[in-house]
Each structure stands twice: as structure tokens, then as C-alpha cells.
Amino acid sequence: MLISTIFLFSVILFANFKVVEAQSVTSTTTTRTSTTTSITASPVAITSAVTTGPRLQSTTLFPPTTTLRKIKVGMLIPNGKTELEGIIGYSLSAGAIIVALEQIIKDGLLPNTNFTFVWYFDQCDESLSAGYTSKLIKEDQVDVIVGPACTALMSSDLDDKTRYPTLTLNAATTWSIVIALISVFQQYGWNEFAFFYTIRRSELVARCSAVQSDINDIPSRSQANMTLVYKRNISNDTYDQLKTVLGTMKTKARIIVACLENNVDRRSFMLAASQMKLDTDEYVYIFIETKKQGFGVPPLWIDTNTTNSGDDEVIHKMCDNLLVIDSEINNDTIDEFRGKVLQNIHEWPFYCDTCNLNATKNSVTVNAPSLADVFYNYGLSLNRSIASYGEAAIKNGTLLSLNSKGEFAGFSGRVIMNERVKSSQQPTKTKLRVFGRLERASDLFPDLFVTLTGALAQPHSSNKNLVYVIIGIALILAVIVFITWIIYLVVRNRTREMQRLDALWQIHYTQLATKTEKESIRSVRSIQSHQSNSSTMSHKRNTDNINFCYLNNLPVIARKHSPKFVPDDITEQDRQQFRFMRQLDHANLNKFWGLCYDSAQFLSVWQYCERGTLNEVIELYSMSLDGFILTSMIRDICEGLMAIHNSTILHNCHGSLTSNCILVNDRWQLKVQYYGLHSLRAAQHSTEHNDSQIGNLWTAPEILRDRELLMGTQKADIYSFAIICSEIVTRKVAWNLADSNENEDQILYRIRRGGNPPSRPTLSIDPALELNAALPHLIQDCWQEEPERRPKVQMVRDALKSMLSSKATNLMDYIFTLLENNAAELEQDVEERTKELVLEKKKADILLYRLLPRMVADKLNIFFGCGFIYYISWRSTPLQVVNLLNDLYTTFDMIIDQHGVYKVETIGDGLHVVSGLPVRNGDEHVKEIIEMSFGFLRSIKAFKVAHLPDYQINIRVGIHTGPCVAGVVGLTAPRYCVFGDTVNLAARMESSSKPGRIHISAETNRYLTEILKDNHYRTESRGEVMIKGSGPAETFFLLSPDEPNTNGSTDA
């Protein structure tokens, strides 16, 4: 074969050559040829020779020597084309082949060898490249051709070794970049992605077009589980179109691969992605580069335009999720290499004095290291071939191609020649670190799993296991941190919750307010109102053990405890009990508000119940309580006691149950108090030094005999419960001490001593109570001498439930039933009395008509106003009431003087006014009365009670129109009076009116609507109202000018 091998370092070489004529200029090592003319003229071939010896003598001239071999090197390289100059231009690249030659000589690969160089400027034109290739082979008879440096280099079509047996690719194809992309996807388990690309460059150096073609070939050329879900060429898209495209894509893929050919496209793409909210960690961007430098120099987030857009920070942040896969690999000697490339173009064999006059090291093309690798790899291959087969190997292209396989440290980095004799440079993955420094991703991802054969292999087991170990450790640490954090949050929240609950039961002494004069006059309703004041807060007096006060305006009971107990004695168990008691809400347990321990001694604060203790209720209401009420009260105590016995936090017992521990609220519901607080009671018991100080009339015998049981037991609670029940059923205090000849100490002595039978209260029950016959036996069972024979609280509860099963189980329902029955009886009595009253009234009218002629009676209008003084009299002194009435009636008198009306009389807080008498005014009496009523309502809104500034007085008004009799009657203090049904009906209108409303009869409404026909007045039907003495009758409300109509008004 004429030519041994062809090494490509750029783009494409066609198999079928077309011969093209070209001029050539040759020179020897002693003649320097100017390249200025050759660059501007037709394609030029320059021939030069160099002799290599043991060491390099000069970079400008190699003295010829007698050698064993001569090697002629041909080169195809573009020159003078602007779009190619920065990629593989002659002036910025050709010097790299001499750098490689120097390294070959330095490494002693080809000693005693003459090198002659011939090159043509093919301008990356296919026709020129084919012609010059033919010329180099046939005419120049070169041994090796380096080039052409054009697009085909990056295409994966040249991988076919059967078509190009003597071809050696020393630069990675775009497919090797795609393999690196596949490895990244396999490393992270990704499979779906979107791909965007632009085609901006000349077809001579097209890059992304080859990449997008290889992306399409992934399913057919690899076994990778990768799915391209979205692909688009955005070369011609405007910025708004690009945002629309990204918005369409965002729901289809989260891995975005892009091949963009300039920084303008890259910046626009990242900025549009940011504006479309694709800047989160859910999206990963991968830029595919070839012979670039990672993020570029300067980086793509730095705007190099003179008019800075101000988007640098946005793009810089987007690069946090950007991974760059690049075939460029920098090394530590790259600057030195670039300097030699620039220098060598001015020396042998090129001697280009006009090249690179203002160039810097960064101006050297990105493909210059690959050109150096081309020639150095040729030197390695030739060295191996000559060593094995002698000088004949120089012309054996197939042999040289086979010996090109292997790995060497090239000028562009580590170069691996695979079985297809193709360079497989390891692509670099570049990632942006958060601290702003560019760093090779190869430090982070050292192995892309590419073997020497070029096939994608599994990762090394050690690395794979290490990854699994790291992931496992990270997961374990994450779980530990998560669990620790959860525990911390739980503990912190629990601590805060405990502090909050502790703050609820901790009451400061300043929060407890003593009774004031205002509260001292309050009373609580009861079924016997004349006795209710004895159970109100105002009549409570503080004792040695109890204070009555207010907590946040709520009446409470503050019980004093032993001064020996101090705050430092409170344990965590005590706090737990206090928190539980503060939150406890049971129908038959009195509310515990908390403890006050910053006063002179500990105070436990409990809810105040209006009817007082059970003792007080028995004393006040003993004659009003029937058998069912008493049994219901016993059941309430049993329910509260059962709640205590079922609570471990409350030590399952009360320990000090007495009738003073039982409170009764306004709903006749019994509540047990003074439960819990065992540490405070223990401190109290420690002050009792002898047995005479132990116990009371409710204490069980075993407690009186054994100090060890002072904190109480459930059986002792049952005994105390029985004593309380005896008080309820007999309606007398415990042991009927008031009528007994014994004192408390004597009774306690008999209880402590015991006997057969033991000493117990006498159950003298009134037969009229109609108690269940089993109740006394239940009480006797509960106070048995032997604790074991006493029933449990559950048994007592079941027994009481069976006693009440035949009646209503709710005490309030029973009381309401009693009230309804009483109300029915009262209604019947009222009806009978009303009939008697009507009969007597008729007799009085007959007598009246006999005394006075009927002609004296005439139509007139009667007004009655009433009713406020009884509501405030209990809050005022007699003098204050008189002053109030004087101020009010003075105001009313001034209004009366403005209208044609006559004030007949005032009765307490009631006012009787008439119009049409004694001065006749035709039909104007209705209008005068109505205008006066409006005046009253307006004035009452602005009226203030001097001694009760917050109290608002209101009045009711009743009006009726009709005939009556008037005259002066009486001998002592005679006065002008008005008599008849009109007066009575006016009074009924007032009594059945509503506060702030004017209530008129149907007759008055008829005058307004049919006789006066004054549209200024509006009335509203109230419907039928039961009028005492007259039966049901339709009445009306007269609406004031500013009063809204609710039921539909009638204009007068």
C-alpha cells in the first residue's frame, strides 16, 4: 500500500477521492518560504525536511544527517477562514505538530529519522480535501497524512473499521460524548429526558447537528434504558417562544440535555428556564460540549456585552443544577504547550512571520492538543511496528493501525485508543460548586465506566460497593438525625405543654380579689326566694380554713392548707396530679382552679357553687325536698366518688369525705370537692400529734384506730358516704348533733371503741318522703364495722340506678315536671279568680252608671306608661330612687306640657295620661297622645341615672281609645279621676307591651287609619294577644319614625 495510515484530528475524510490540481511551493531546510502569498493565493503545499538525531539541536533548523529512514508527513489544514480560525486554523494550530515531534525525539521513539513535512490548505472543503489527499499520495508520496481537520472528525460514521481499515481517529467522536451522557444517566438511574439544540456554526465545523443525530441513535446503538420524551431545535425561536417551549416541556421531563453553540444561546436558555420556574432542585441540566472548557472562559453567567443585562446572578444560580460533559481535558502543562504552539509557527518548518502577531496563549485553538496527540500517537505506533517487523512496517498501514491501540498521556489529557483504533478521550463532567469555584467533575465522578475496548462496562465492584456503603451510611445517618429531631421536637413540645399546663394551675395571690360592696348585694335564685340570700356569696364569711374571693370575676373558694408545706416540697408527681385536676371536667366533681402558693400559706382554689354546701342546703330547704330529689342527690355523690375511685392519679380514694365537701349548684347538682392534693393533706396530718386530733364524725372507725390509714381508703370513703346519706334522708346534720346530749368527742370515742352493735346515726326517716325501702338498707351496708363487708362504689351506683329506674333519671327534668304541674294549678286558680274579677267589675260598672249619667262619658284617649323602678330598686337606696323618679317625671312633665294632654296620676313608676279630657279636642286626642309617646321614647334614650351611669332605663307604652267617665271624687284629698273599660284596656296595653315599644289597641289603630288618615304614622300588627278580662284581641305596635318594619306595616 502506498500510504501507511491516516490520522485525523478534526472532522471528515471521504473514501472516494477527487483529484484537484494545485500549485505547490517547496523549500529545504536552508530556505525559508514566506507563507503570506501562499495563504492569499491558491492552495499551497510547503515541503520541508528535518533530520533528527540523539537530541533536538534547534527549533529553527535541524541539520541533515545520514539516517536509516526517511519519513514524509502530509498535512491538510484550513487557513484564512474566519469561522475555522479559532477551531483548527493553521496559524493557531500547526505549531502543535512540532511540539509532538519534539516529544517523540525527547522520548527516543524514532531515533535516526529524517522528517519532511508537506501541507495543503484544504479549507475544510470536501472537493479540495479529496484532491489534496490524492496529490499527497500520488505525487508527494507521503508516508502519513494528518488531516483533514473538518466536520467528519466529530461524526460517528468514521467508526466503521471495515470501510476505513487504515484510519486512526485520534479525536473523540460525538458518540463518545453521548456514551458519557449514557453513563451519567445510568449512574443516577435516570431514563427520561428532553433535548434542546441549536445550529449556529458553519457546516464546516458543525457540532450540535452531529450530537443530535447521535442522540436519536441511542436506542439502536446502545442498550441504555433512555427515553427521549421531548426534542426541539431552538435556533430560530425567539425568547418568548423559548419560554413557551420550556413551559410545554416542564411537565414531560426533569432531566434537560442541551447542545448550544454559543454563550448567547446558553444564557438565553438558562434565563428563560429560570423565568418559567425551572430553577428548583427538581430539574437537572446537562450541557454537551466538545473541545470547550467546561463553563467556558469567561463562564457563561458573566455577561461580556458592553450593555450588561443584569441577569448574571440569575444565570449563576441556575448553574447550581448544571452538569457540563466536555471532551476537553485541561492539564498542568497546557499553558506551556500553547506557548510552544505559538512559537513554532514562526520557526521550522513553517517560518510564518505574519502569523500570531498579537495572539496570546488563550488564542491557541482548542483542537491544537489533539493535533499534537495525532502525531505523537503515530510516533508510538511506528516505534512498536518497527520493533516487531522492521523497517518494512513504515509502509504497512494496517500494521500501524493495529499498533495504535493502547493508552498514553497526550497533550489533551489521557488518551485511550480502542479496538476500532479510535481515540476515546475520557469526557470531563464539570459541575458548579456552591462556593463559586469551578472544579472538574472528574474529581467527583472519577469513573464513567469506559473500558479500553470502548464498550460501556459495569462499574468496578469495589467502587460499586463503596457507593452502596456510602449511600447506606448516609441513609442510616439521615434516619438517626430524623429520629433524633423527632425526639427533640416531641420532648420540646411536651416540655412546653407541661409548662403551659403548670401555668394553668399556678395562681398568683394578686389574681384573687376579695368581695366588694357591689358583689355583696347579689343573690342567687332558688325555689324559695325569701331564703335565697343565705346561700349567696355576699353572706359568706371567711373562716380559719376558707376564704371566699373572686378569680377573674368568677366566685371561688380558697381553702387554706398547712403552712408547713412550701413550694419546694412539690414533686413532679404532685405537678402531674395538679395538671390532671386542673383539666378534669366531671359533672359531679367540683372544678379545681389551681393552687396559690405565693401567699402566707398554700391556698387550693375551687369553683364556688351558688347553693352552698350540703349542710346549708339541708338546713334551708329541708321541707322542699322530696324522696326523688334526695335519692338523686345521693346518686350524684356516688357518681363523683366513683370518678375518684377510678383515677390512679387521684390515688383511687378521696380520704376526707364529709358533707362540707359536697357543694350544690344552682341546678341542684351535687359536686364533690377537696379531692386529690394528697401531699398537702399529708403535711396537714403531720401536725396532728395525738389521736384526739384525728378524724371527724364522717371518719371510718379503722381510720380513727390506725394513723397509718390517715390518707384514706376506698372502704373508708364508702363509710363516709353512708354518713352523708344519713344526713340527706333524715334531713338533719350528721348524728343529729343539734338535738343530741353528746358532743363530737364523745361520739368519736364510741365510734373508735366499737361494739356490737357499733354506734351509728339513727335513720329516722319521714314516711311522707316516699323513699325506696332499699335505700336505708343500702346505707347500713355502707357503714358496716368491717371494711370488707362494705360494698364497692360500683355496687352502690347500680343499686341507686335501680331505685330511680321507674322515674326520670335527670333531676332537672323532675323539677321541671313539678314546676309545670304547679304552673297548671296556678293557671287554674288564676282563671277562677279572673272570672270572679270580671263578675265584680260588671257589678261595679252597673253601680257607676247608676251614680253618673252616661252622657258624661265621651270618647277620649287613655295612656299608660310603666315599668322600670322595680328592676333597679334593689340596687339603690330609697333616696336614690326618689331622686331618680323626680328627675324622670320632671323630664316627662316638660314633654306633657308641649301637648294637649292631661296627667291624671303617677303610681310608682307608672304614668297615667289622658287626652280629650277635661278639654275637648275632637279627634286630635289620638295624635296628641302619640306625639307625646314619641317624645317620651326619644328622651329616655338620653336619660342617665345619676348613681347608675351604666344603667339604661326603658319604658313600655300602652294606648287605647274609647269612652270613659271623669270627675272629682272623694272627700279627703279629692282629685280628678277617670273611670271605665278604656282605662283598664290602656293599662292592659301597657302591661303586655315590650320595652321601648308603643302598644296600641285595634280601636286606636282604626282611628289612625280610617279617621285621621295621617300617613305619617306606621303601625305593625302584633297578632292576637290575650287581654285579661277581655280574652284574645288583635293589637298593634306603633312604629317610631326611625324604627324598621319587620312584619309589614300599615300607613295611617
- The mean per-residue pLDDT over the stretch 412-424 comes to 64
Contact (CB, 8 A) for 735 and 749: no
Q: How confident is the model at residue 477 (pLDDT cuts 50, 70, 90)?
A: very high
Q: How confident is the model at residue 325 (pLDDT cuts 50, 70, 90)?
A: confident
Instruction: Tell me the pLDDT tens digit for each residue of 59-84.
Output: 333 434 445 688 999 999 988 887 77
Position with higher pLDDT, 452 vs 116: 116
Least-confidence region, from 106-110, 541-545, 694-698, 751-755? 694-698
Q: Which of the given ranges, 423-437, 472-486, 622-636, 708-722, has the highest pLDDT on average?
A: 472-486
- The mean per-residue pLDDT over the stretch 519-545 comes to 53
Kind plus residue range of the DSSP H or E element containing 935: helix 925-942
Task: Write the DSSP assignment of 632-679 as a string of letters.
Answer: HHHHHHHHHHHHHHT-TTTTT--SS--GGGEEE-TTS-EEE-S---HH
Instruction: Tell me the pLDDT tens digit for each residue of 421-447.
Output: 445 445 544 443 332 333 333 333 333
The C-alpha cell at 844 is 261595679
Instruction: Tell me the pLDDT tens digit for each residue of 643-692.
Output: 999 999 888 899 889 988 999 988 888 999 999 988 888 877 766 555 55
Q: What is the pLDDT of residue 525?
A: 39
Angle between helices 334-344 and 368-389 (to 10 degrees): 90
Closest to 215 (Cα-Cα) out of 242, 244, 181 = 181
- Per the rule left: phi > 0, alpha: psi between -120 and 50, beta: everything else, 783 is alpha
Closest to 614 (Cα-Cα) out of 670, 550, 536 = 670
Q: What is the pLDDT of residue 273?
A: 93
Beta bridge partners of 232: 196
pLDDT higher than threshold 60 for residue 900: yes
Average pLDDT, the chain: 77
Q: How confident is the model at residue 572 (pLDDT cuts 50, 70, 90)?
A: confident
Q: What is the pLDDT of residue 294?
A: 56
Ordered by where they begin, the domains of the chain are 5-172+333-426 (3.40.50.2300), 174-326+431-443 (3.40.50.2300), 509-809 (1.10.510.10), 852-1051 (3.30.70.1230)
Contact (CB, 8 A) for 1033 and 994: no
Least-confidence region, from 436-440, 766-770, 845-849? 436-440
In the chain, how many H helices and how many E strands?
31, 32
Cα separation values, 706 from 348, 686, 701, Å: 123, 14, 9
The C-alpha cell at 605 is 382554689
- For cell 362504689, the residue is 793
Q: Which of the given ranges, 150-164, 237-251, 842-856, has the highest pLDDT on average?
A: 237-251
Position with higher pLDDT, 1016 vs 248: 248
Q: How many CB atoms lie within 10 A of CB 469?
A: 10
Distance separating alpha carbons of residues 14 and 4, to the nearest angstrom: 17
The C-alpha cell at 180 is 458519557
